[in-house]
Every structure is written in structure tokens, then in C-alpha cells.
Amino acid sequence: MRILHLDKDTKQNLLDELLKRSPNHYGKYEQSVNEILKEVKLRRDAALFEYTKKFDGAQINASNIRVTKEEIEEAYRLTDDSLVAVIRKALHNIRIYHEKQRQTSWFDSRPDGTVLGQKVTPLQRVGVYVPGGKAAYPSSVLMNILPAKVAGVDEIVMVTPPGKDGKVASTTLVAAREAGADVIYKAGGAQAVAALAYGTESIPKVDKIVGPGNIFVALAKKAVYGHVSIDAIAGPSEILVIADETANPRYVAADLLSQAEHDELASAILVTTSRELAEKVSRETEQFIAQLERSEIIRKSLDNYGYILVADTMEDAIDTANEIASEHLEIQTQNPYEVMTKIRNAGAIFIGEYSSEPLGDYFAGPNHVLPTNGTAKFFSPLSVDDFIKKSSIIAYSKDALADIHEDIEYFAQAERLGAHANSIRVRFEEDEGGRRR
């Protein structure tokens, strides 16, 4: 891996490079995506089935688009019992963590008859997109469905692209059933996003769409936002490690490569105060790459967006981490909790040398759907909060309103909104007998 001294110019050049990976730069695909969305919105099932045949090679129709009970039972037979057991262990941890995020409605009543509060309501129907094709990611199934289930969503609709044989990966189906999906449809790509957003004869319209996908899925979600809500536009994977001279270079190198293997746009960055550690980590990465299965992808990822930055001080390292706002941030220093208190921007923070990033991907419990491309400066991980909505509650008695009605009328008139003022005023008009109505 390349080793650079961290200074103002290095940091700015790095930030500029990382921004090139943003989904906002996928413009050349937008026309194709918009055409797919338009067709599905107009022709519904007919267009959905045509695009499924075109892109996935599967002959899907109204009679087989919905995954059956028999297909799920077959999936369990095809999945190793040991993997099912691990899925259930991970599911338990994820559920327990997200149950702590639950919010409840609250109401505050006062002696004058005023009642103020907040009503928390789960979303009615949510669509979960799960990638398919050559790979299966049961961990993503758990991470997207369980927060919705804990939130109390009435109906969780999952879509995932089928293989050419019209089937869905067995591990995907097992994870979906374990997590609590209510219905699963064999549809993927921008056409599946369109079906969830607009509704077709087979797939119902949802209130929100969550889940990762390729460029076409990301652009489709971006385009339908407003018709439905979405979680976020996910970019390529990222990891940033802050380390000092006490860190184990072999651990650091292994952790950097855990994200570099995702794809050629993945970012893996070490920021350290130790030149010696930097050189050892660079050597360790070379040794690992020679052994790892996805070595070609890892090599291209590191060539594109892999960096080892040597900082003069730990404060410089922390400032850089906050500027980059990485999806995953590991802290492997002598005093990791002290460093953690100074981190403002990160999707997930892994503290100490035994808190490797894949722990969060699969098992610990916190969600692995995280903000990317610097959006950790203002976005949070997927959570129960993403599957609820809040309504304000306001109830005033006549006496309570009487004390403040003139202030409200005055405020409304100052904004030249006479009807607003009148809406309050009419409640305190006097009738002909001098009595208030």
C-alpha cells in the first residue's frame, strides 16, 4: 500500500478522490433507470416481467413471482443446519440491540387543560431490497428486516432477483423467514424498486424502500424518493483505521483488506502516528493478498483508494478521520476510548484490537447498513427509527387558549396571515347578549 505523509494537501487530495466514488456521479446511467421506472409505472406487471427476463434471464409471471411455502421449505433443506444455527445466533444479537432503540408515544398534561405529546406509529408497509444474482447476503437480509420487525411494521415485503432458473438463493430465503419477512417476490434491479414505489398487479406499493443494491438500484431509489421514503443511497464500502505504535500490524492489515475485497471502488485507509507501523502494515497486506481468494479485486481496490497516512500527532489523525467520516472506523491505539470520545463522524466505531469490522457485519448486533461517502457527518446507521413516524399531539382547553389567544392573533397578523388570526379570534367573539360563544 502507498504510504504518504499526512499534511493539508494530502488530506484535501484524498477527500477529492474519495468523493469521486459518490453515487451522485452515476449520471450516465440515469436515463436507462428513468426509462425502466416509467415503463413499470405505466405497464406494471407486464414491464416488470419483461425486464426480469431481459436482465435476469428468468421467466417470471403472476403465477410464480411470489415465493411459496414449498420453496422456503426447500431452502431449509438445502441450507446446512450449522449455518441456520449461526443465522439464529446473529438474529438474536441483532434483535436485542435494536429492541433498545424502541420509542414510545408520550403525553404531557397540565392543570389548565393543555395536553401536548408525540404519537409514535410504525410504518404500515415497507419494501426490503436484497441483492441476488451471483452472491447471497443473508446478513443483509437480517440487518434490513429486523429493525422493521422490532419497530412493529405491519407488512414487510422483500424483493430479490431470481436466478435464471427462477429460484432465489436458499440462504437468502432462510434468513428472510427467520427475520420475519411477510412476503417475498422474485424481482430485482430498478424494475423491482419501481414496483415497490408505484405498485403493480402483483407487488403492492410500499411506504418506504430500504436495502443495498447496484448502481441501477441506487439510482432508482434516488428517483422514486418522494413517491416513497428510502433509507439512503449507499456507496462503495469504506474502512478507516486509526492506529499508533501499539497496534498489531497483522491485525490492521487484515482489517483493511476485509473491506477492500468488496469491490474495486472500496476504500481502505490507515491513519497512524507511527512510520514503523505503516511500513509493517504495508508488508503484511502484500502477504495477505498473495493468499486471499479475491486478490485481484483487493489489489485494484488498494491501487484506487487504499492509503496509509502517517500523521505527526494523534490529533491530526483524529481530525482526518472526522473529515473523511468513514462508514467503518476502527481505533487500535493505546487509549482507544479516549480517542473514541473525540470522534464526531463515523458510521460505526470499533474499539480495540479484538473489535474487527466483520464483527459488526455479521454478529455483534448493531446494524451494518451504514452511511457512506462522508454522509456519516449527517446520517446514522439503519435503525428502528427508520421504520416509525411521529405525529405531534396538541389539545387545549378553552381556558388554556384564552390566556394566549391575543398573542397568537398578533403573531399571525405580523405575518399578514389574517385567516390564521381569525381562526383563533372567532373562538372568543361575543354574541349579541354580551356572552362569549
> What amino acid positions are annotated as catalytic residues?
327-328
Residues 58/412, Cβ–Cβ less than 8 Å: no
Q: For residues 155 and 123, give the distance between their C-alpha atoms in angstroms, rounded to a whole number.
A: 9
Name the 3-class secondary structure at 366. Answer: coil
Q: Cell 464500502 belongs to which residue?
A: 237
Coil, strand, or helix at residue 4?
strand
Cα-only R_g, the chain? 26
Residue of 207, 146, 175 whose CA lies nearest to 369: 146
Contacts of residue 29, defined as CB under 8 A and 6 or more positions apart, other chains included, come to: 215, 216, 219
Dihedral sign computed on CA atoms, order 166, 167, 173, 177: positive
* Neighbour count for residue 79 (Cβ, 10 Å): 19
Task: Please give the Cα distance from 148 to 127 (Å, whole number).
Answer: 10
Distance CA 144, CA 139 (A): 9
Which residue in 103, 108, 154 sits closest to 127, CA to CA?
154
